Amino acid sequence: MLPLRLLLRRFVRRGQLSVIDHTGRRHRFGIDGARPRVAIKIHDKRLYRRLAFYPTLHVGRAYVDGALTIEEGTLADFLNLILINEQVASRTSAGDVRRRFDGAARFAAVVNLPGRSRRNVHHHYDHTADFYRAFLDDDLQYSCAYFYKPEISLEEAQEAKKRHIAAKLHLRPGSRVLDIGCGFGGMALFLARNYGVRVTGITLSTEQLKIAQERAARQGLTKLVEFRLEDYRHTPGTFDRIVSVGMFEHVGRPHYRRFFKRLSQLLTDDGIAVIHTIGRETAPSPINVWMRENIFPGAYLPSLSQLAPVVEKQFYHLTDFENLRLHYALTLNEWNRRFQANRDRIRQLDPSQYDDRFCRMWEFYLQGCEAAFRHSGLTVFQLQLAKQIEAVPITRDYMFAEERRLMAGEAGVPARPRMAGE
């Protein structure tokens, strides 16, 4: 227990953390009475050294295994306390040295060649669609929603996200659109349904591909939307518009230059691309090692200082940039609420796979990510890119007008432009 006590005495500067050891003895750290106030119990004495020397990995492992339990407060309280104090510690010189060491040590983990990319996607995204239906919105949007009003539902916020991105694409009748990392097809189907444009959606997930194709057939959109199991590096042709929502996180830092070069090759000279990605407002750093090991293998979240140089080298104009800040924290909070409400339903899907240990892993992921968006500088970037400086109007009024038009369309006014012959 000694190494862990020494660490926590230095680390806990905000809130109060009580640690109940395997003998039942209580150790207090931080400020008496301060919040968040949490008590945890460590059931295995072998954990003390592991937690002291590699907490970013072993806290999550111990919680999932049941060797660390929350005795007072909630898991969310515990994760918020940890990340609030980690933010304080990261401002020290020791924190900067640790970031640099971690970044060098984990470089190989984000070298995502096509075969490895496919395996990484399979690890997280090839769960049965019924699993995702247990906590996502009706359209199965598995990316940050857009809460233009804090009181709106998750379904409304996800519809708003699609409108927001569609407005930035500045679509025209006849546009050919590529959706890189199309997920369950919601964005592609939204664009085809509202604009009559032709959309090619590509994914590396066989489960997502199957559901997306079924949805296109059910909605009568197969003439406008094609979904393919395909790596963006192998996609043929050119497109007037390219959209990518929640895929860039999986590209891997060593492949940024190639990604934007490929984007340039796929985009017509007068085309527009919109990239929606989780990013960092902080200095470059690898993702949490537990998260990479259990949830998102191969993932890396870019800082602006890493995006800007590779964008510049491809002669793009960054025609619009938006930082969505707390929108993902709100999204994750709702996902977790629905996940908790449907734990029994999830377990019944396949008790051998979706057992209590799996559910603890996913609640640690969902609540840990929410805490990171609130306290650790995670955010969502939306980049609008064009090769020609006049590709979009010089003010953002066209975006706001288009979002209002789409909202009116949902109320009964047709939003889709008229097709030839109509």
User: Within this chain, do residues 255 and 362 fall inside the same structural domain, yes or no?
Assistant: yes
CA distances to 220, 251, 414 from 163, in Å: 21, 25, 14
User: Within this chain, do residues 72 and 121 fall inside the same structural domain, yes or no?
Assistant: no
Is 405 inside any structural domain?
A: yes
The catalytically annotated residue of 144, 182, 359, 369 is: 369
Concerning whether 369 is annotated as a catalytic residue, the answer is: yes
Is 103 inside any structural domain?
A: no
* CATH number (domain holding residue 396): 3.40.50.150
Provide mean pLDDT across the span 356-366. 95
DSSP 223: T
User: Within this chain, do residues 50 and 196 fall inside the same structural domain, yes or no?
Assistant: no
For CA atoms 54, 305, 277, 242, give the dihedral sign. negative
> Hey, what are 292's tokens?
């990479």
Q: Residue 318: helix, strand or coil by DSSP?
A: strand
Q: Is 95 a residue whose pLDDT tops 50?
A: no
User: Within this chain, do residues 82 and 129 fall inside the same structural domain, yes or no?
Assistant: no
pLDDT at 293: 87
Greater confidence, 113 or 20? 20
Total structural domains within the chain: 2
pLDDT at 114: 56
pLDDT band at 421 (very low <50, low <70, confident <90, very high): very low
Is 181 inside any structural domain?
A: yes
pLDDT at 30: 92
pLDDT band at 21 (very low <50, low <70, confident <90, very high): very high
The residues with which 323 forms a beta bridge, in sequence order, are 381
pLDDT digits over 241-260, tens only?
999 999 999 998 889 999 99
Token pair 């995006």 in the structure block, residue: 307
User: Within this chain, do residues 261 and 387 fall inside the same structural domain, yes or no?
Assistant: yes
| Distance between start and end Cα atoms, the chain | 75
pLDDT at 157: 98
* CATH number (domain holding residue 57): 3.30.1050
User: Within this chain, do residues 169 and 232 fall inside the same structural domain, yes or no?
Assistant: yes
Q: Is 411 a residue whose pLDDT tops 50?
A: no
Rounded distance between C-alpha atoms, residue 29 and residue 61, angstroms: 22
Q: Would you tell me how many other CB atoms lie within 10 Å of the CB of residue 334? A: 21
User: Within this chain, do residues 241 and 383 fall inside the same structural domain, yes or no?
Assistant: yes
Is 109 inside any structural domain?
A: no
Is 101 inside any structural domain?
A: no
Domain that holds residue 388: 114-410
Instruction: Report cis status (omega within 30 of 0) of the bond before 3.
Output: no
Domain limit, last residue, from 57, 91, 125: 91
Provide mean pLDDT across the span 325-345. 97
Is 104 inside any structural domain?
A: no
User: Within this chain, do residues 6 and 123 fall inside the same structural domain, yes or no?
Assistant: no
User: Within this chain, do residues 68 and 150 fall inside the same structural domain, yes or no?
Assistant: no
User: Within this chain, do residues 39 and 183 fall inside the same structural domain, yes or no?
Assistant: no
User: Within this chain, do residues 87 and 158 fall inside the same structural domain, yes or no?
Assistant: no
Is 201 inside any structural domain?
A: yes
pLDDT digits over 56-84, tens only?
999 999 999 999 999 999 999 999 999 99
Of 382, 337, 418, 398, the residue nearest 146 (C-alpha): 382
Is 7 inside any structural domain?
A: yes
User: Within this chain, do residues 57 and 174 fall inside the same structural domain, yes or no?
Assistant: no
Compute the mean pLDDT over every residue in the chain, rounded to the nearest whole number.
Answer: 88
> Hey, what are 393's tokens?
């109007």
